[in-house]
Structures are given as structure tokens and as C-alpha cells.
Amino acid sequence: MPRFSAIEGLRAWLAWAVVAWHLVQFTGLARADGLMSWWAVIGEGAVMVFIAISGFVIAGLVSDTKEAYRPYIIRRIFRIFPVYLVILAIAFAALPLGVWAEDHAPWRSEPLFYYGEVLHAHVSSVERHPVEAALLQLSLMQGLAPDSLWPGASMAVLGPAWSLSLEWQFYLIAPACVWLMASERWRLATTVAASLMGLAWHAGLFGHYAAPSAFPAAAYVFLIGIACRLQFDRIRTMPVGPEVIPLLLSVGLIYRDSLWLAIWGVMLVCLARSEAWRKDSAPGAFIAAGMDRLLGSPLAVYLGARSYSVYLVHMPVMMAAAWFIVQWPELESPQVRLLLAIATILATLLVSDLLYRCVERPMIALGRRLAHPRPSPLRPPEPTPPGAAGQGLHAHRGRRA
């Protein structure tokens, strides 16, 4: 199966875009208009690109390896659950710290600040249904609970995990989705069904959700990634030039809700055409080299390997750091915001690296071994010492006599 190393680099920048958005949100800088409003677009768009990447990568895994369902799901379980459960425990401890920090932060009285109420709603959600919340969180099924039925369930305790719940729902049925999209007979019906589910979700027929955390809400995004992977060889032969990149980005900037699709389109074109562009003169070679530096640099590779841990752990790290910093009453809002940003970035880098080395990588290796155990070689019979057989026989005969 070909490895698209640039995707790992893209994951790095997407994860840190989400970190930046949550810093803006946590520190009361989120605005409904002006330049600050773009942080929400960037953060939410990054998550949608993550979803398309999942469809793309899993489609390659399923179609290229022809792996049976049991080893496939074992490897998925060990890929996502060990790190998630460790961070979930950290998040349970950090949530009250984050609530206290927001209640005492210097920006708490600013008119547009709202995140303190969000955290209180999360705590209330868990307190009202502690057993159900624990079961949903531990099974990664919290994304299925609509806010109209159970307010705050999908984001309680560990906010970013709503999208991980969505991913887990997809993983459970991904082989079937890939098979349907690969089938000429069922491809059209599958895409129509996904489109109708998305329309029904946005119309509120599945209930009200704070985020597209249930599979029907984002099925079409997964299918876009799957279709791109299944048709990738065909896309690679299309005579697409580098001029498509500014066109896609301009569409995404003009129509904000489609920014994620523009970013994914740029990524797909670069994956498919960068090899051909490297052989051309500028601007193709220039763009290909720029993408290599952006997505293939040592920093991007390092951060990409740890992007999963970064995506999940930065929120409890931010809450713990805020609890510590807000206790200094002599600090004003700009100083607290700056210190919190620095502390969050440094602590997230440290903790995510530890999680990657001590939990994520060993558990991935364990899952691989459990999914594909090596057959134990047959033990050869132990050699009989010279003369032992005859001695034993004579001794046996002697006893019988």
C-alpha cells in the first residue's frame, strides 16, 4: 500500500490549527465578525479535513490490504482507544480546573465571552447522568447522543473527542462503505443515501447536535475521501496544472463553509500531480518544492506523528495551565493570554511526545501483533542420546521379567 507521507504533515498543521482555535475560544477572543471570526472557520474546517483524510486513508487500507474485518478492527481499537482512555482520565481531572479558571479569569466579564458557560454545561451534563456519561465516553459513542435529548453529551469531559466518536462510528462500518463505493452497482445508491442523511441531519430530523458528531451528519465527507482514494490513479493522470490551487483557495476564502473542501482539494491535487510538477519548470516545480518543505520537513513529520495526541490532549493541558496562571492576580488579560498560549504549546508538545512514545506507538505495535499473530514454529522432537533407546528398552524388559 503506498504511503502518502504528505498527509502526515498535513495532519500536524490541522491539529495545531484546532489548538489555536481552542486557545482563542478559551481566552474569550472569539468573535462573530471581523478577523477573529476566521479562527472558528479554520478550526472547524480542520476537523472536516481530518474526516476526509480518514475516508481516504481507510479506503486505501481496506482496498489494498484486503484485510479481514477482525484484524482490521483490532488494529483500529489499539490505534485509538489506549491514548484516548489515558487522555480521558486526564480530562476528568482537568475539567474542574478549567471551570475554576474560567470563573476567575480576567476576561470573564467581557461581553462576548461565553466559554465559561460551555464548561459549566459540560459539568452539568456529567453530573445529571454520571453512569450514562461514563459508558458513552468509555465506548466512544458519545457522538450519537443529540443535544436536544441530552445537552452537552457529545463534548462533555473531553471536547475534541466528539470527532473521535464520529471516526469510531465510521471505522466500525468503513469496510462496507469502501465496498459499496467500489461497486459500480451500489456506488450511486450509496452516495445518494449519504447525501440524504446529511440533508436530514442538517434539517434536524435526527435531533439537534452542537457538532456533526453522528455518522449521518458527516457520511458524505467520509465518502468524498473514499472516492478520492479509489479514483486516485485516474486523478493522477488528469492534466491538472498548479493554477488550480489559487482557484480552489479563493473559493474557500469567499465561501467560508467550503474552506475545508478547498483545502482537501488542494491536498488531493498536490498528492496526485506533484511528481509530474517536479519535472516541469516554474511554477509547478516551485509549488511542488514548497509543498515538500511544508508537509515533508522534519518538523512536519515529527508533529504529524504526534498529531493524534496533540489533538486530544491540548484541551486538558490548557485547562490545567489556565488554573495555574489565573491564580496570579497581578496579571492582566493580555499577559494571562500570552502566558497561557506559551504554556499550552510547550506542555502539549511535551505531553503528546510522552504519549506517543509510551502509549501510542507501543499499543499500535501490540494491536498489529494481535491482529496478525505469527504462527509458532513446530518444535522438533528432542534428540535421544546415543544408546538411551536401547537402555530404556532393556530396562523395561528387565522390569517385565
Q: What is the pLDDT of residue 378?
A: 54
Can you give the pTM of this predicted structure? Answer: 0.88
Mean pLDDT, residues 116-144? 89
Q: What is the pLDDT of residue 2?
A: 55
Of the two residues 33 and 336, the one the predictor is more confident about is 336
Mean pLDDT rounded to a whole number for the chain: 88
Q: Where are the domains of the chain?
A: 5-373
pLDDT band at residue 334 using 50, 70 and 90 as cut-offs: very high
Residue 118, phi-psi category: left (phi > 0), alpha (psi -120 to 50), beta (remainder): alpha
Among 161-175, 294-308, 385-399, name the most confident range: 161-175
Residue 184 has pLDDT above 70, yes or no: yes
Short-list 178, 181, 199, CA closest to 190: 181
Q: What does the pLDDT look like over 352-396, one tens digit per residue?
A: 999 999 999 999 999 999 998 877 655 555 555 554 444 443 444
Residue 72 has pLDDT above 60, yes or no: yes
Q: What is the pLDDT of residue 32?
A: 65
Q: What is the pLDDT of residue 391?
A: 42
